[in-house]
Amino acid sequence: MVAAALSYGLGHIQSEVLRPWQIIFLFVGLGTIVTVPFIYWKLDSDIPSARFLTEDEKVQAIERLRANQTGTGNQEFKIKHVVEAALEPKTYLWISMSMLLNVGAGVTNVFGPLILNGLGYDKYTTSLLNMPFGAIQLVVILVASYLAQKAHVKGAILAGFILPVVAGLAVLYALPRSHSVQAALIVGYYLLAFLYGGNPLIVTWIVGNTAGTTKKSAILSFYNAASAAGGITGPLLFNKKDAPTYHPGLRACVGIFVALVAVVLIQWANLVFLNKVQERKRLRNGKKAKVIDHSMQDHYHSLDKENVEEQAQNRLGDNAFLDLTDRENDEFVYIY
């Protein structure tokens, strides 16, 4: 009898303390903690210590960093880099992209099953229908990263991946919750998975357009803060009283992603303008106006081939190892 009472008590405590979603978070958290020592042991910190690179490959990797002018790393904290980042419009455009995108990501993470329930499915069918959604996320991330590398136009790829999200939200908003259009509603929901190609693209876009170790760290910190703020804000857009259509939340999300496309295009135009400013700066310093960013090419290219034609005092790439910001380095080329 005592054993039965104890068993009941433990079961009662477990049901009260651990819910199914909590078990998932505990499992993922435990997996993270367990893998940290392995990652720390195997993941090298920089190019010179990279065990998976040969000596020739290390030289080529250093040359690639020299070509993109973003620097090889510096341990000194420079407050002027932070001030420069805080005064630049492009920093706030990065922050806007991060927050707007992750408001939508928060919606799909937290309220995806809620939206599917609104289509008339029970919780078990809803869980099954979320499995393809996760698979689409993985494919989208890989495809977005591949296209951005091959096409070399991250802004266009990012805007292109947001458009299906807008289309999916429009479908969910416009169609009634009836059995006759359930297939179309599910397709509309799956289109939301395209937004997950956005975060990797934004991060690589930021890194490729920011030089100076402290400045880069500061902007990525702003990005992470905005991402967290977006994830917190997203679920607040949906309310149970709006079930099963959730029109107010869906309407807000449409506006958010349309605004995101607009911000991407504004940043694109801003980077084009900044490259024009850089060209004028190079001409004033006695250098050629156009500089090719060879780091964006698929094959290895040494800057020494170009430096043969340059005067000694104007050698291309010499600024790359001075931990200059993109504004300080006249050889920096912004990527779109």
Give the domain CATH number at 175.
Answer: 1.20.1250.20
Of the given ranges (46-50, 226-230, 259-263, 267-271), which has the lowest mean pLDDT? 46-50
Domain-located, residue 11: no
Which of 117-121, 185-189, 222-226, 304-308 has the highest average model confidence (pLDDT)? 222-226
- DSSP symbols for 86-132: HH-HHHHHHHHHHHHHHHHHHHHHHHHHHHHHHTT--HHHHHHHHHH
Domain-located, residue 144: yes
Which of 74-78, 89-93, 294-298 has the highest average model confidence (pLDDT)? 89-93
In this predicted structure, the answer to whether residue 287 has a pLDDT above a threshold of 70 is yes
Domain-located, residue 304: yes
Give the span between the Cα atoms of 261 and 263, in whole angstroms. Answer: 5
Domain-located, residue 218: yes
* CA-derived radius of gyration, the chain: 25
Q: How confident is the model at residue 67 (pLDDT cuts 50, 70, 90)?
A: low
Of the given ranges (141-145, 159-163, 272-276, 308-312), which has the lowest mean pLDDT? 308-312
| Global confidence as pTM | 0.79
Give the span between the Cα atoms of 292 and 297, in whole angstroms. Answer: 10
* Confidence at residue 65, expressed as pLDDT on a 0 to 100 scale: 67
Average pLDDT over residues 10-33: 72
Greater confidence, 243 or 155? 155
Q: How many residues does the chain have?
A: 336
* Confidence at residue 13, expressed as pLDDT on a 0 to 100 scale: 46
Could you tell me the residue range of the domain that residue 225 belongs to?
Answer: 16-336
* Confidence at residue 71, expressed as pLDDT on a 0 to 100 scale: 59
Average pLDDT over residues 3-19: 52
Domain-located, residue 1: no
Give the span between the Cα atoms of 263 and 27, in whole angstroms. Answer: 37
Percentage above 70 pLDDT, the chain: 79
CB proximity list for 10: less than 8 A, separation 6 or greater:
none
Counting the structural domains of the chain, the total is 1
Domain-located, residue 4: no
Domain-located, residue 2: no
